[in-house]
Amino acid sequence: MNYDTLIEGAVRRSPRFDSDSAIGVDDVVTGIPNSHGMFQAETTAYRDRETLRLHKLHGSIDWYAVPGDASGITLKRLDYGIDHESSYAARATIGGREVFIVPPTSAKGGYFENPRTRFVWREARLGLEKADRVVLIGYSIPLTDTAMMNLLARALTADKELVVVNPDANAVADRLRALGATSPVRLLGGLDCVARFVAEEVERASAQLLPVLLERLLDSPDSPVAVGWEHGPWGAISSVERRDDDQTLVLRVEHLDMPAGSIGRPPRTSPDEYPPRTLALSDVLDASSPPRRIVAVSEGREWTVGARVAPPDQVDDDWVVLRPLGDRPER
């Protein structure tokens, strides 16, 4: 719901890839101006990409429209990285437009005349209806935001898992129940609520990855394992160890700056060989004693491992590439 561009920035800094290309901001943000589709009378339509959906119900600080325009024709997006004040190109692009923000108040009637606003809210409703889990992070459900209250009231059915992440979580849970929510509400309160939620989600992702790896271990124990991001950089695993009462598997990674596919296949013959060879899956995992989480350590940094990435076309498809959760190292 927020109109900032933090998520768009994260998508750009740490891109994901599917079989075609990188997932971009226009693939993530619902109904983004200046992108594809018939809103812009362009021939290239939106594509269904396997990624998250960001419904910017309250507009965005990088969207601009002429005041009073109910048609959506003047709504344009200006790249958030451009300096709006000093760039002539930015000022010329904005023209007489103003930032397009939909306030969280009951007076949204004029904004809902805009077809793009209606489209974004409709997509958000469909997303909420299909969701198994609804997490409210930082949103307090103010009584003045009647449109959002109506949206939540229509979507909060008894079969959904509800989580509230808010310094005043109990008050938000009371408002949810007043809207008709009947499912148990899990609360994460206090000033550190967001940090705790993120830590739990990271642990959850790592735990969900382990059964996938154990199944692969049974089928292909000799598969080479690397740590890295889509299309690089990659790093070779030099050694593994256990810690935290044997519950955490630590992967020691060297040369986490190599192009995808440039790492040697196992077995390792010397710690000084270059390009380095990595370990096989059977050297990394023990099916008789699986860990609860996996972390990768390289050059003083540590990441929790919570995903796999598909090897690029130029790499043998038996590679298991473990993706750290977080930004790739700066070089």
- DSSP state for residue 144 in the 8-state scheme: T
Spell out the residues 6+ positions from residue 247 whose beta carbon is closer than 8 angstroms to its own: 291, 292, 293
Helix (H, G, I), strand (E, B) or coil at 15: coil
Q: Do residues 226 and 263 touch, judged by C-beta distance below 8 A? A: yes
* Residue 223 token pair: 């598969």
- Residue 165 pLDDT: 97
Distance CA(134)–CA(223), nearest Å, equals: 37
pTM to 2 decimals? 0.78
CA distance 53 to 160: 19
Query: Mean pLDDT in the chain?
Result: 84
Render pLDDT for 53-86 as a digit per residue (tens, 0 to 9).
Answer: 899 998 998 888 888 888 888 888 876 555 555 6
What's the pLDDT band for 39 if we cut at 50, 70, 90? very low
